[in-house]
Amino acid sequence: MFFLLRNNPTMIPYTEMEKIELKVPEESQGDRIDCFCTAALELDFSRNFIQKLIRSGDIIVNGKSIRPNYRVKRDDCVIIHVPEPDTPDIIPEDVSFEILFEDDDVAVIHKPAGLVVHPGTGNWKGTLVNGLMFRLKNLSSVGGTIRPGIVHRLDKDTEGVMVVAKNDFAHQRLSEQFTERKVEKIYEAVVIGKPREAHGIIERPIGRHPVYRHKMTVLEGGREAVTEFSVKKIWNTPECVFSLLDIMLHTGRTHQIRVHLSSIGIPIVGDPIYSKKHDRFKVPYLLLSSRKLVFSHPVTGEQMKFEIPRPAHIADFINRLELRYEIV
């Protein structure tokens, strides 16, 4: 049985699965097995949990047990046997994140890079949800017991603005805005290479990769996906060219920005799934952030606008480029 990410409520949750089967793509060639599995299952399994499964023999490669320092090869077949999960109560914890706005219906927060949004098998503590339960008195129940308040989410390594629902009415109204594409979502990314045009719209359907099932890909018959981008800066370096992009999402598919940019030959710096050079530049997280969010308040109808500064890990990378290389 193949593993399916849980962005879609029709997909199979871990509690109903006995094993996860992954095939190693070219860009992951040479990665340590624990790093590959953690990146491939980036929203759900912690690296510590993966390492425990390796030591217990619950992760095998090409039918054989492996050591924690094993480095994967292209097209290796990795099978992860998932133990029967316990579903503990979600415990409120003092997790670090900033609340930008709060009233009786919504909270708008700044999610740091590296923070998982909600708990899951092997990762029940230290998530954004644990922190929300600690700091907010009320959260909506529409998302279930492990996703209270969560209307939308960001990938673990993507820093940015999120809106959280504090009651079910607000949750339903916000969900309608996302579904009807009435929410403005502006991202910023540093990519390897440069687009052919300074401004463009990528309209390519996205679906599950037919071979590497932890990945999404541009796929005929996939779901409609539309990404708009504008080039802000370009740096020519001896190693390669980098570009800074502003990005607007017109749809909200799994890994949409990452897939679309990679599909036109400009993957995001540090992306462990969609960039063959993901570990070359030694960045702690992929260089993608959700900088701006605009929506209508679910009760008052007032337009709400929130914007965060450029995250430190992205600013540091850009500063290094600007000190050393030509800006176009």
Give residues with Cβ within 8 angstroms of 11, minimum separation 6.
4, 5
Q: How far is CA 167 from CA 102, 161, 299, in A?
A: 13, 19, 11
pLDDT given for residue 45 in this prediction: 73
| 19 inside domain | yes
Looking at the 3D structure of the chain, how many domains does it have? 3
Q: Could you identify the residue written with the tokens 């919504």? A: 106
Residues 173 and 279 in one domain: no
The string of pLDDT tens digits covering residues 276-299 is 877 789 899 999 999 999 999 999
Residues 114, 49 share a domain: no
Whether residue 212 is found in the same domain as residue 322: yes
To which H or E segment does residue 207 belong?
strand 206-208
Spell out, as residue ranges, where the chain has pLDDT lower than 70: 1-18, 42-44, 84-88, 121-122, 326-328
Q: Look at residue 6 in the predicted model and tell me its pLDDT.
A: 33
Is residue 89, in this structure, part of any structural domain at all?
no
Query: Which strands, in side-by-side order, build the sheet including 64-65?
Result: 19-23, 77-81, 59-61, 64-65
Residues composing the chain: 328
Each residue's pLDDT tens digit, 30-40: 999 999 998 88
Catalytic member of 105, 155, 157, 271: 155
155 is catalytic: yes
Give domain status of residue 3, yes or no. Answer: no
> pLDDT tens digits, residue range 29-74?
999 999 999 888 765 677 888 999 999 999 999 999 999 999 999 9
pLDDT in tens, 230-253: 999 999 998 899 999 999 999 999
Both 176 and 192 in one domain: the answer is no
Measured distance CA(92)–CA(81) in Å, rounded: 29
* DSSP states of 247-268: EEESS--TTHHHHHHHHTT-PB
Q: What is the pLDDT of residue 216?
A: 94
pLDDT of residue 219: 94
Is 87 within the bounds of a domain?
A: no
Q: Buried b vs exposed e over 29-60: b needs ≥16 C-beta within 10 Å?
A: eebbbbbbbbbbbbbbbbeebbbbbbeeebbb
Shared domain check, 147 and 42: no
8 A C-beta contact, residue 261 and residue 189:
yes
* Helices 33-40, 47-55: crossing angle, 10 deg rounding: 130
On whether both 276 and 244 belong to a single domain, the answer is yes
* Range(s) of the domain holding residue 151: 98-180
CA atoms of 277 and 267, how far apart (whole Å):
9
128, 146, 180: which is the final residue of a domain? 180
Residues 126 and 214 in one domain: no
Q: Which of these three, 22, 52, 81, is where a domain ends?
A: 81
| Phi, psi torsion values for 35, nearest 5 degrees | -65, -40
State residue 18's pLDDT score. 62
Rg, C-alpha atoms of the chain: 20
For residues 202 and 321, membership in a common domain is answered with yes
Q: Examine the domain organization and report whether 173 and 110 are in the same domain.
A: yes
Query: Do residues 227 and 319 share a domain?
Result: yes
Query: Does residue 306 lie within any of the structural domains?
Result: no
Q: What is the pLDDT of residue 277?
A: 79
